[in-house]
Structure 1
Amino acid sequence: MTTSITAITADQAGRPPAAAAEQVTVTAPRFEHLREPLGIGVASPRLSWKLDAPSGFEPSAYQVEAMRADGRTEAEPVASSEQVLVDWPFEPLVSREAAVVRIRVQGRDGAWSAWSESATVEAGLLEPSDWSAAPVGGAWEEDPEAERRPSLVRREFSLPDDVVSARLYVTAHGLAEVEINGSRIGADALAPDWTVYGERLTYRTYDVLDALRAGGNAIGAWLGDGWYRGRIGFHGGYPNLYGADLSLIAQLEVTHADGTRTTIATDADWTAGFGPILRSNLYFGEHYDAREEVAGWSLPGFDGEGFSPVAVGSRDTGTLVAPQGPPVRNTQVVSPVEVTTSPSGATVLDFGQNLVGRLRIRVSGARGTTVQLRHAEVMQDGEIYTRPLRGALATDRYTLRGPASDTDPDADQVEVWEPRFTFHGFRYAEITGWPGTFDPSAVEALVYHSDMERTGWFESSDPLLDRLHENVVWGMRGNFVGLPTDCPQRDERLGWTGDIQVFAPTASFLYDCAGFLGGWLRDVEAEQLDDGTIPWYVPVIPGGSEWTPIRPGAVWGDVAVLTPWTLFERFGDRGVLATQYESAKRWVDLVDRLAGPGHLWNTGFQLGDWLDPAAPPNDPADAATDRYLVATAYFAWSAKRLGETAAELGLTADAEHYGRLAAAVRDAFAAEYVLDSGELTSDAQTAYSLALEFGLFPTPEQRDWAGRRLAELVAEAGNRIATGFAGTPLITDALTDSGHLSTAYDLLFEDECPSWLYTVKQGGTTIWERWDSLRPDGTVNPGGMTSFNHYALGAVADWMHRTIGGLTSVAPGYRRVRIAPRPDPRLTSAAVAHESPYGRISVSWRVVGEALEADVVVPVGVTAEIALPGAEEQAVAHGEHRFVVPVVSD
């Protein structure tokens, strides 16, 4: 029996039922997925905007205006209510060209809104011929020795007083931070990001007009090894995997009042010398000797002592590309919550949160004193515990400049330092060698990650669930550092494809990661083998086949199909489907060949349900679910999604072909793995979750039986989780969709090992790699892979958003949403909010007596289907809505 919803809408609260266009506010347009479109790499960038309008307003058309160097242009109005990633309506931009763009919309009554605020987009260097810069670095860096001291490079130049514009385009072989006239340019860190360097090296664009002056100027850069030539890989890694040089590639373009341009590019006129960084490595850390600082090296008039002509290298400028996502930046500062002294006598700081970044210290003391900073995620026996870091030393050292003598006027000067070219995953820091009395306020942890916009929030009446959700958020932040890594702390930190494939839906809710992941998918395709094989991680470590041979694997390789679909579903980006389609197609075609006419992928190496909690510590692939069942299930799912992708792109023949292929694989799966009743040959939680969510049961009766069996398995396990990377993202949905919501909640609320809340109650502040990374007795899992910051198992947060919070996208980009919270008696309230491409969507519900009250906010451009428990469904347009229904049990 259903009941009617008592709805209290914004109109009933006194707002006029209709809205005139003059009451509508249009936001300034956004270009592609970039908040900062300076130096964009797209000649015809797509536009998006949001609307704020009273209830009753319906957009029917939009118009775009652009001010370019040759004048103002108004495009013809477009009869459409679209407002997300609409086509650029003008002639394409050329390199360096800027356009000031604004939008207005028309209502159904024919009236136009006011113009939006303007936003400026500026093209970067779009053609290889735009570049004149060459890689430059210290000539000594051609020495093949593994550990080389990183250098500084510099050049001086003179400018007249008629400069009206200045742009710096910069990248590096390695990492670089640029200074002009002694001032740091930008706040970006660890730039450029790790990409498939031979195919794609990203550059960034900076407006540097304010840093220049009439007369003498100087430009210089700090250089660091980074991923390019630093040690990366397992077991401490290997150096020089992309090249032995450490080089800056930079082009400063200065525009004068008469329109002429002066270019100062990296070339033989630059010089190089050593700075105070003695050693810098992503795994090992950084050693900085302040006594070696070179005063005035990035200022004009420097005497050049210690500097000599650079070595000039070469670079295919066709591989230099503008980034699609944001740079890595410091986004938060965290102070220690506790300071203790370890049994060994070291000072240990607890920051209360497992985070990714580095420390900033403020210290004064005698010249030559060295402060050592070591980092770790956990403690054991009162000491920081570094075994899980494997070959990563995670140790930074700072040697003080100090006063030259006791009578030096700077004797009490405080020295402030943080490393430049490394990062660590840690909660605890051990400090030794600190001069004098240690002051906890003298050390802060700086959080670094790709500076994506936060877009998703969740809270509930249960503090443990809220902490679990925070752990997911922190895990994502720590592993989105230029690329989506598996972990941020040990000698690995690789872009494992399976991890992000299962986590992408959660990531796409929490942060605007569309550009970030879209760019990384270009690297996935660049690394894809000619036969269609997707490597296990991207970028591939050159020569890394000795650690991880490049061979096809389900779940991981399926990132080529499933992650573009997630970006389309969550961000409304059909373009990413088109861009990645051939890559996705090559992957499914490869699996089709491997499976053969029987349509079963039952040969070759597979990771399967990786890190099933029952797997032995040193054999994480030894799961309860047959790895070939997992592979064939994913084959069916990717074939289905590829057919749907083809349909979205208007590729009718491909859509039909892959639709038939998906059906054939489903039939083969059923014949091989499904018994008559619905029981699976692998009677395990992951097996049923995959088959239920991927639609692999031939009959409704078998599906119903499987749902019951899955619920039984969960109950038999004491509501403890028994899934790894393949099953965990699906199990709560499989239970919910098969009619066992209360069992899904039982699984979520369980707090004994293995479970999500076990990690919370054990003090975890991020998602762990293993369910028992920290065992109940307080010891660390002895397995060689034991990370305390892995996001994959946090994929359950997507179910929390959709089922507890009740917000699901049912049309690309949240154009249409379903508001359907499924409360459990153990919760009295929950709230979820998402900043969609159309604006903020929020759902907040609470139990008040015998009633369930829900507040819903829907932005312009979105239609919401309201489906509260026990009530008739209804659709609402944008506005603020309140609903009240009687509490019913599910």
Structure 2
Amino acid sequence: MKRKLLFFAFFLMANLSMAQLKLQQLKTENRVNPIGIDAEKPRFSWVLSTDKKNVLQTAYEIQVKKGKETIWSSGKVASSSSIFNSYGGSQLPSNTRFTWQVRAWDNQGQTSEWVTASFQTALNKTDWKAKWINSGFANDTVNGVVPMFRKSFETKKKITNATAFVTARGLYEIQFNGKRMGDAYLAPGWTSYNKHLQYQAYDVTNLLNVGKNAIGATLGSGWYRTRLAWVHQQNIYGKETVLLFQLELTYADGSKETVISDNSWKVAESDITYAEIYNGETIDARKRIANWTSVGFNDSNWKNAVEKTFPIDYINASVNEPIKKHESFKPVKVFKATNGETILDFGQNLVGWVTLTAQGKAGDKITLSHFEMMDKFGNPYFTNLRSAKAQATYILSGNGKDFFEPHFTFFGFRYVRVEGIEGKINPEDFTAYALYSDMEQTGSFETSNTLVNQLQKNIQWGQKGNFLDVPTDCPQRDERLGWTGDAEVFSRTASYNFNANQFFAKWLKDVTADQYPNGAVPHVIPDVLKATGFGQPMQAAGWGDAGIIIPYNVFVAFGDKQVLEDQYATMKKSVEYIRNEAKNDLWNTGFQFADWLSYRVDDSKGMIGMKSAITDNYLVAQCFYAYSVQLMINTAKVLGKNDDVKDYESLLAKVKKQFQHEYMTTSGRLISETQTAYILALQFDMLPEALRPQAVERLVSNIKSYDYHLTTGFLGTPFLNPVLSRFGRNDVAYKLLLQDTYPSWLYPIKTHGATTIWERWDSMKSDSTFQDPGMTSFNHYAYGAVGDWMYRNIAGIDTKEFDGAGYKAITIKPQLGGELTYAKGSLKTNHGLVSSAWKIENGKLLWDVEIPANSTATLTFPTKKLTSITEGGTSIKATPSGTLDVGSGKYAFVMDI
């Protein structure tokens, strides 16, 4: 009996432990244990974890401590909010480490244990003592040498905390005592440098010694003064690169010391003799100076740095993740091109660089030329790079093996041409590294169709390569700019694949910084096209309204209301620009990109008999005008701006009325008989409700006339499948998705083995010739916006807006089709993991769903045989419309199909 009682007690304790409410993934300002937080009221988030179903948080308590002292306590707050809960105490001192702890209560009588995390505040503006320093070298120019700086200092006491605060007008890398500081690359990233500049904070305590120490820094041109865009403009933000460095030391006895950049730093030329974003980098190993960042190095022959008087009042601590190294690749193939050149194939179109280990005579030069595609004759294709050389040039020292790695450039490539190595190439000497912003990958998606799975991989790789601190259009040619239209159409897909919350929050600060006084948002952000014809104070539909669409998408995907609050003034100015440009509420003026790169008959010889699919520019503009106004209504509702809600509701009615008057016949036919015209009109409810069914039929008829091929461009494509699914033509949406001949999503994969999304539907044609080399990128994520539909319709995962934003209130509505036998998708949300996986087996549909704690979901069953539904062997009663409201937990449904 005693043994039975002991066993029962053990069993009971084990089950209680399993059911115990736990808190995980604590974040401050969306980051884990961050340092360098300059938010006045930091926001705290956590994820509830439990094995029980239907769990909701009912209350929480947060305490913030400085050392052992509690400086603020929220008390027990009756709330289900587990994300973005703001600090409510007195002003936090700068450069101070805090811990915070949280516990929560749920609706099932469970109380979590206290869980602890930390954060460290940034510097106040008045804390900066550092001076901007420059090399003072005459040859330190945009096409000149890369300088290296050095500073020795001594500590005589035990260090308990050392934080380095660093930025540059240019790009920097730092070492302490011969070891690299941090794992960020191309820091401080790309911003509108003269208006918005971020600095980074690093914990360097473990890199310092008690006694003598040495700091080394290299300073590259980067985006700051390298040439940008196709007009060869350079020194856009300034001609002189400068470094700003401040090291804050705290000793065991509580005393503090500061080491700053000033003219006591020494400077010399590095072994990097040239570094430029488009052209690449040259490293001369003969010029390497051994141990120059180590203690004891003799820098008596080095010159003193020169202090400069640039402002610091506009700099702020980084809010986003830095660029880091991620996947590495060895060549999957080494071969000779038809012309005899040696080629490395890394098997994946990626963005980053290649490291090399080589040995030879002093002065021997090895050149790596990066490119994306081989041409039909078996030779490397460089023409689409335009004027970008995209080369890494390495000059050997002659002193044994040399290791080379770029520092202040990057390349978009799959292939590398190798010149300068005699004899057989050893592939082990080469490693390619992918560089991109260090966002957490949150989404996964898979189906029974291997081509669709490759499409998903291509979408994600397109995002990786082009989310390099700024959402760029392409990473390889002489462009690589933050085109607003590309970012706008892809923003929701981006937010499934990765946690892009902070990435976009940072970029949107530059949208605000570069917005024209008249409210127009430039075509690219940061705005480097002022010297071109695109540099006018004008806004194009689908591009400039990224300043409205992206903040709203960020709010919906992540539940981050702060982004809407921060951007609201910018959003208003943007929509007011359109209102001022419009005549009687009709936006039919100014330059428009319209449905960029839609199908034209001269695009390919493979579709004889097809007609062009060019949509009227201003029809597109009017639709996006309505879209922007609708999002302003939504945003004003979220922020409680009731007067604005009424104003924009009135405006929206006028905008739609003018659309119907100008672009639609009384029977509902549009002046442009294109897929995009009907897609946009249906997506944004531009047509009277009674005329929408026949508009759907016209759309479907158009698609059928192209033998189930899409003909849409950048603005029509994202909404093509969502519109079809919304209006009951999921069958057509699947046919478009699974189409594998040109033009389609799968054509590049099936015909040419694409590993990223292309800029054009036929960047490479069926006969293996290329589209217009002036604008043919093989890594261009815009058409990957179909990923949004794949997550939301095939896997079925979505979130309700307003009170349910950020997957607090979830909807899961998978729509089967395309002869898929299974599909599964998952998403790490701010509330936890959401997943939906279905498969067809022996005439049954098996559907597994997971809903995170502190969330609820409305499920829509993908069957009409509602009485057949069971969960865990128990019959489930859905509503007549096939829905069921559930709480958190894991569910395994079985049903007839």
Does the TM-score normalized on the shorter chain lie above 0.5? yes
- Partner SS for 1:203: strand
Cα distance between partner residues in 2 of 1:718 and 1:353: 31
Cα distance between partner residues in 2 of 1:656 and 1:704: 29
Tell me the alpha carbon deviations over residues 320-340 of structure 1, each in whole angstroms, 9 at most, x when there is no partner: 111111000001101111110
Query: Which position in structure 2 is the counterpart of 1:362?
Result: 357
Tell me the alpha carbon deviations over residues 373-431 of structure 1, each in whole angstroms, 9 at most, x when there is no partner: 0000001122211100001100111111222xxxxxxxxx4322211111000000011
Query: Which position in structure 1 is the counterpart of 2:779?
Result: 789
What is the letter of the counterpart of residue 199 of structure 1? K
In the alignment, structure 1 residue 402 sits paired with structure 2 residue 398 = yes
Cα distance between partner residues in 2 of 1:102 and 1:616: 63
Query: Which position in structure 1 is the counterpart of 2:284?
Result: 289
Compared CA separation, residues 805 and 109, structure 1 to 2 (3 A): closer
Which one of 651, 663, 674 corresponds to residue 661 of structure 1? 651
Compared CA separation, residues 829 and 22, structure 1 to 2 (3 A): closer
Compared CA separation, residues 28 and 839, structure 1 to 2 (3 A): closer
Cα distance between partner residues in 2 of 1:806 and 1:146: 50
In the alignment, structure 1 residue 344 sits paired with structure 2 residue 344 = no
Which one of 576, 590, 608 corresponds to residue 594 of structure 2? 608
Equivalent positions of 1:72-91 (< 5 A) are 72=70, 73-91=72-90
How many residues align? The count is 856
What is the letter of the counterpart of residue 401 of structure 1? S
Cα distance between partner residues in 2 of 1:240 and 1:36: 37
Which one of 34, 37, 49 corresponds to residue 34 of structure 2? 37
Cα distance between partner residues in 2 of 1:42 and 1:281: 34
Cα distance between partner residues in 2 of 1:75 and 1:36: 20
Deviation for aligned residue 1:296: 2.3
Tell me the alpha carbon deviations over residues 186-230 of structure 1, each in whole angstroms, 9 at most, x when there is no partner: 111001111010111111111111111122211110111101111
What is the letter of the counterpart of residue 714 of structure 1? I
What is the letter of the counterpart of residue 674 of structure 2? A
In the alignment, structure 1 residue 883 sits paired with structure 2 residue 861 = no
Deviation for aligned residue 1:444: 1.1
In the alignment, structure 1 residue 674 sits paired with structure 2 residue 664 = yes
In the alignment, structure 1 residue 732 sits paired with structure 2 residue 729 = no
In the alignment, structure 1 residue 842 sits paired with structure 2 residue 835 = yes
TM-score under structure 2 length normalisation: 0.93
- Partner SS for 2:589: coil
What is the letter of the counterpart of residue 805 of structure 2? P
Query: Which position in structure 2 is the counterpart of 1:244?
Result: 239
Which one of 373, 383, 386 corresponds to residue 378 of structure 1? 373
Deviation for aligned residue 1:846: 0.4
Deviation for aligned residue 1:795: 0.2
Tell me the alpha carbon deviations over residues 133-180 of structure 1, each in whole angstroms, 9 at most, x when there is no partner: 122121125x69652211001111111123221110011111100011
Deviation for aligned residue 1:861: 1.3
Equivalent positions of 1:224-239 (< 5 A) are 224-235=220-231, 237-239=232-234
What is the letter of the counterpart of residue 742 of structure 2? C
Query: Which position in structure 1 is the counterpart of 2:297?
Result: 302
Cα distance between partner residues in 2 of 1:704 and 1:542: 43
Compared CA separation, residues 612 and 306, structure 1 to 2 (3 A): farther
Query: Which position in structure 1 is the counterpart of 2:879?
Result: none
Equivalent positions of 1:496-511 (< 5 A) are 496-511=483-498
Contact kept in structure 2, 1:524 and 1:534, CA below 8 Å: yes
- Partner SS for 2:355: strand
In the alignment, structure 1 residue 277 sits paired with structure 2 residue 287 = no
Contact kept in structure 2, 1:19 and 1:56, CA below 8 Å: no
In the alignment, structure 1 residue 173 sits paired with structure 2 residue 169 = yes
Query: Which position in structure 1 is the counterpart of 2:570?
Result: 583
Query: Which position in structure 1 is the counterpart of 2:608?
Result: none
Which one of 688, 694, 700 corresponds to residue 705 of structure 1? 694
What is the letter of the counterpart of residue 282 of structure 1? I
Cα distance between partner residues in 2 of 1:76 and 1:479: 44
- Partner SS for 2:325: strand
Equivalent positions of 1:46-61 (< 5 A) are 46-53=43-50, 54-61=52-59
Cα distance between partner residues in 2 of 1:799 and 1:257: 56
What is the letter of the counterpart of residue 587 of structure 2? W
- Partner SS for 2:468: coil
Deviation for aligned residue 1:440: 1.0
Cα distance between partner residues in 1 of 2:389 and 2:487: 26
Tell me the alpha carbon deviations over residues 545-584 of structure 1, each in whole angstroms, 9 at most, x when there is no partner: 3454442211001111111110010000111111100100
Cα distance between partner residues in 2 of 1:435 and 1:136: 43
Contact kept in structure 1, 2:327 and 2:434, CA below 8 Å: yes
Query: Which position in structure 1 is the counterpart of 2:851?
Result: 858
Cα distance between partner residues in 2 of 1:663 and 1:368: 71
Contact kept in structure 2, 1:22 and 1:112, CA below 8 Å: no
Contact kept in structure 2, 1:228 and 1:241, CA below 8 Å: yes
Query: Which position in structure 2 is the counterpart of 1:765?
Result: 755
Mean Cα displacement is larger for which, 379-388 or 337-346?
337-346
Which one of 617, 638, 650 corresponds to residue 627 of structure 1? 617
Contact kept in structure 1, 2:56 and 2:855, CA below 8 Å: no
Mean Cα displacement is larger for which, 712-721 or 146-155?
146-155
Query: Which position in structure 2 is the counterpart of 1:132?
Result: 129
Query: Which position in structure 2 is the counterpart of 1:160?
Result: 156
Which one of 409, 415, 436 corresponds to residue 422 of structure 1? 409
Cα distance between partner residues in 1 of 2:603 and 2:479: 18
Contact kept in structure 1, 2:351 and 2:475, CA below 8 Å: yes
What is the letter of the counterpart of residue 57 of structure 1? V
Compared CA separation, residues 680 and 452, structure 1 to 2 (3 A): same
Which one of 206, 209, 215 corresponds to residue 205 of structure 2? 209
Query: Which position in structure 2 is the counterpart of 1:324?
Result: 319
* Unaligned 5+ runs, structure 1: 1-13, 404-412
Deviation for aligned residue 1:711: 0.7
Deviation for aligned residue 1:676: 2.1
In the alignment, structure 1 residue 525 sits paired with structure 2 residue 506 = no
In the alignment, structure 1 residue 742 sits paired with structure 2 residue 731 = yes
Cα distance between partner residues in 2 of 1:599 and 1:663: 10
What is the letter of the counterpart of residue 582 of structure 1? A
Deviation for aligned residue 1:689: 0.5
Deviation for aligned residue 1:654: 0.5
Which one of 863, 873, 876 corresponds to residue 883 of structure 2? 873
Contact kept in structure 2, 1:371 and 1:432, CA below 8 Å: yes
Cα distance between partner residues in 1 of 2:846 and 2:226: 56
Tell me the alpha carbon deviations over residues 99-151 of structure 1, each in whole angstroms, 9 at most, x when there is no partner: 111211112355522112x11111111x211111122121125x696522110
In the alignment, structure 1 residue 817 sits paired with structure 2 residue 810 = yes
Cα distance between partner residues in 1 of 2:98 and 2:18: 26
Mean Cα displacement is larger for which, 761-770 or 249-258?
249-258
Contact kept in structure 1, 2:357 and 2:403, CA below 8 Å: yes
Cα distance between partner residues in 2 of 1:550 and 1:331: 39
Cα distance between partner residues in 1 of 2:775 and 2:808: 41
In the alignment, structure 1 residue 463 sits paired with structure 2 residue 463 = no
Contact kept in structure 2, 1:44 and 1:91, CA below 8 Å: no
* Unaligned 5+ runs, structure 2: 1-10, 605-611, 867-881
- Partner SS for 1:50: strand
